[in-house]
Structure 1
């Protein structure tokens, strides 16, 4: 057939197809407008009829699709969540920095004309203490301390005091194991259950810590506290993020966090004064967090991930009722999201019933690089943070004021980073992380250089002093022989 005779048929065919597409488009638009005339931003993309019948639309096509977090509101329930997280954060902080005060090293008060032996850091001071312990003498050196620590009560000074410092390592190993174990358990059995278990564990073993009779018992109970504290640190942040609206996460994570609590925690330690009372405080605040947590719901986000859509639906309905949210349009959107999640969960488990574990964060080259980069940053920051924290007693001045100033510096940095992330979108989390790591590296190198120079200068002074002494001895011997 000649080419000219096909042109009218093709034009007619194209006109019919365009008409059909316009009819489908108008039908979909009219349906969406009847539900919500003003919801233009969250309008679903237009789909071909065949696509709707074959399978659910992939998540990637919903670039502007709403999520459950978009419908969460500030209200009484969220305030309850914030109070719970604040109490659990204070619990975690109290447990982690406990040894800053419970392991505080006292100093030796000059007495009996022994003013040169004024601390236990010098060998002479420790030798003097050992002498008085082994011999009967009327002079007894007195101790000076700002906090009644384990060192003071169990008389663990000098060499014995190192055992108290070393015990921090065992407690931190407990924290590491607890974070690993309870993080995985929370993915399997829920955030709320795990939080209740770890908070009860901290409360019980902190109470036992306050009633131990010797240092070995103290160490065992503190390792147990560290184990449950690791679980608390791993799960409480996830529980918070899954329950608060996306638009409020930045300021919440800036206020309800360690740093502002660290500013006023020294006051709590000052009022407690003894390591036993401070452990009782940790037990009490942990129990309070556990009681308040009982009035909350399991994370709806976690329930959806586990395919428990009906339970998530009931929890969301009760949360909205507590918050006084009666917006029917929002309720309809939430129901649509839950229905989509249910379909996606069903399709995912038809194709693969895989359960994810820690292995999957290193199973590919990309994930391995991300994980190693994050771990390097966290380990570097933790070594410096806890290195400073557990040796803050070596600074001159008040232990409590120094701790508060340390918290102010930390919180100021947090606020700066949070503000930069919020107000300077181009800055980005990767840039922030890179700047922080570079700053740490430069600071550590600078300290290492100054320390090396200081040691070299000290060695040089010692050598010069030794030369002068040798000269004086030589001159004396020569003069005597003359």
Structure 2
């Protein structure tokens, strides 16, 4: 039934000046339910967020495990020679050991790493850096496979199997007795961890209200979990115990993933209307909302019909090619891929070379996590209160902050001012890692909001692919220092500046816009057959910039 509202009272004057009031009633149609209305803040959101938290803790633990597991110790002495008393740095120590092979070096570190147990010191420590890079290659392939499988067989199903296998290989890695077996098992850990990373963010965005995506992704993120993992590492104090502790922390994520529903959007896109109805009914039941079966069914069928009529989304299988199929998609993809690559190169380049930073490894990790979290909370608070503070503005601000930080560090190192600005340099090094957080969060949200449902997870998987290329190269970032100490930071300053300019040029604002559900028409593809129908490339752009 349409609702009735009372309009302004109209006064008409008759000849005898009598005023007669007439009340005009105009029917107003009720607001039609859309798929976004299924997701309101409630108990189901809390369950989704709890699952997200444990997934992130597991993912972060597996990604930064070698920060502790491969931590380079300090060589204190060798035979009668005490390097600490002499005040030698590690370069001088390694030069001495290269020419004196008669003594056995004594190394001590804040964490009982692989380097200490297997005696990987000086030149041999490069083997650990190489092992880390190989492990990250596993993450690259996992990101690709995870996105493709989740679009074919479902987000939840692939998430569940991936995290189970990930935990199993983490346990297996703790029994390694040499570098080859460790690298092999940790590469499988990286593969399955990469699968979960490429899926979870999209799964969360598809299951939470659109106006709550930014604050949820800023409150539940890697930042606070960096602090948690640093504390776990402190008490574990040994790499085998840390690996088993990481596996144990995965158990809640597995249980919660088993309980939640498959993505309603994915089910509709695949034409599984009955399964989608069951999922919506379960969500409504947990949130204690009234469930209207007929209304939900009609909406889901209408959504499926709309998607099917757009380039045959339900029947057609999409690949990474489609992320570059139109000029608009190509500009989105290239810019976001560069953003994630730079974020990982900067973050992991510093994390995997924490021995280059002054201070305790635990303190530095906690400071990084704390600063990241403070920034995330600030964005979470400001985002809903300042409508003009959009996704693009936030990301560009943070990228330019990294540019400025790396630029200043380069200046200090070029002019040999480290003694005067030593504390400032350490703060800026930690800040560079902290600032990358918003590149991942906002970049991921933009990807999910710009690309349609059929390729949304593929888009995020591609981001993870380029992110992991950055991670693979990250251990070697500071080897640029062989040319000059400033080279790693000068490199980061230049490429982050280019990234900021690209984001400004090619990425439209997506804040407050509904998720795109339709693919562009093949007639607008850069290469391929020209066919009429569907959503054109220009329509996609207009949809992003238009007001909801």
Match of 1:180 among 144, 149, 171: 144
Distance 1:259 1:116, change over 3 A: closer
Q: Any gaps of 5 or more consecutive residues in structure 2?
A: 5-26, 420-548
What's 1:277 paired with?
A: 241
| d(CA) in 2 for partners of 1:94, 1:339 | 41
User: What is the SS of the residue equivalent to 2:75?
Assistant: strand
How many angstroms apart in 1 are the aligned matches of 2:418 and 2:49? 52
1:401-480 paired onto structure 2 within 5 Å:
401-454=363-416
Q: Give the structure 1 partner of residue 69 of structure 2.
A: 102
- How many residues in Structure 1 have an aligned counterpart in Structure 2? 396
CA gap of 1:423–1:158, structure 2 versus 1, over 3 A, is same
Residues 452 and 195 (structure 1), Cα distance of their counterparts in 2 relative to 1, 3 Å cut: same
Q: Distance in 2 between matches of 1:276 and 1:237?
A: 29
CA–CA distance in structure 2, aligned partners of residues 420 and 76 of structure 1: 25
Q: Please list every run of at least 4 consecutive aligned residues from structure 1 whose deviation after the TM superposition is greater than 4 angstroms.
A: 116-121, 330-333, 348-353
Q: Which of residues 49, 68, 82 is equivalent to 1:114?
A: 82
Task: Report the Cα offset of residue 279 of structure 1.
Answer: 0.9
Tell me, in whole angstroms, the C-alpha distance in 1 between the residues paired with 2:147 and 2:343. Answer: 21
CA deviation string 1:141-174 (max 9, x = no partner)? 4322111000011111111111112222222222
Matched, 1:293 2:241: no
Determine the structure 1 residue equivalent to 2:318: 356
Q: Tell me what 2:354 maps to.
A: 392
SS in structure 2 opposite 1:294?
helix
Q: Distance in 2 between matches of 1:316 and 1:120?
A: 66
Moved more, 436-445 or 292-301: 436-445
**1:108–1:119 Cα contact (<8 Å) kept:** no
Match of 2:210 in 1: 246
Give the alignment partner of residue 159 of structure 2, picking from 180, 190, 195. Answer: 195
C-alpha distance in 1 between matches for 2:328 and 2:206: 25
Secondary structure in structure 1 of the residue aligned to 2:107 = strand
Structure 2 residue 132 is matched with structure 1 residue 165: no
The equivalent of 1:58 in structure 2 is: none
By percentage of residues, which structure has more helix? 1
Partner Cα separation in structure 2 for residue 351 and residue 148 of structure 1: 52
Q: In 2 relative to 1, CA 316–455 (structure 1 residues): closer, same or farther, beyond 3 Å?
A: same
Does the 8 A contact of 1:103 with 1:149 survive in 2? yes
Measured in 2, the distance between the counterparts of 1:346 and 1:145 equals: 59
8 Å contact 2:76–2:82 — kept in the other structure? Answer: no
Specify the structure having the higher radius of gyration (Cα). Answer: 1
Comparing 418-427 with 214-223, which one deviates more in the overlay?
418-427
Change (3 A) 1:181 1:452: same
Deviation of residue 81 (structure 1)? 2.0
| Cα drift, residue 176 of structure 1 | 1.6
Q: Distance in 1 between matches of 2:71 and 2:28?
A: 58
* 1:52-93 per-position Cα deviation (integer Å, ceiling 9, x unaligned): xxxxxxxxxxxxx54233233344433322222111110000
Residue in 2 that maps onto 1:78: 45
In 1: Cα distance, 2:202 partner to 2:162 partner: 15
Aligned in 2, Cα 1:456/1:442: closer, same or farther, shift over 3 Å? closer
CA contact (8 A) 1:101 1:275 kept: yes
Residues 114-160 of structure 1: CA deviation (Å, up to 9, x unaligned): 3467789534412444566x42x6xx543221110000111111111
Q: Pick the aligned partner of 2:94 from 107, 110, 126.
A: 126
CA deviations on 1:196-222 (whole Å, 9 max, x unpaired) are: 121022111101100011111001111
79-88 or 337-346, which moves further after superposition? 337-346
The answer (yes or no) to whether the contact 2:75–2:90 under 8 Å persists in 1 is no
Distance 1:371 1:354 in 2: 21
Tell me the distance in 2 between the aligned counterparts of 1:407 and 1:400.
Answer: 11
Q: Structure 2 vs 1, CA of residues 183 and 342 (structure 1 numbering), >3 Å: closer, same or farther?
A: closer
Aligned residue in 2 for 1:305: 269
Structure-2-length-normalised TM-score = 0.67
Judge conservation of contact 1:85–1:240 (CA < 8 Å) in 2.
yes
* Aligned residues of 2:38 and 2:280 also touching (Cα < 8 A): no
Change (3 A) 1:158 1:117: farther
Q: TM-score, normalised by structure 1?
A: 0.75
What do residues 369-390 of structure 1 show as CA deviations (whole Å, max 9, x unaligned)? 1111112222222211111211
- Per the TM alignment, residue 347 of structure 1 is displaced from its structure 2 partner at its CA by 3.7
Q: Which moved more, 1:396-405 or 1:246-255?
A: 246-255
Structure 1 residues 222 and 344: alpha-carbon distance in aligned structure 2, compared to 1, 3 A threshold: same
Between the aligned partners of 2:397 and 2:418, the Cα distance in structure 1 is: 31
Deviation at 1:433, TM superposition (A): 2.3
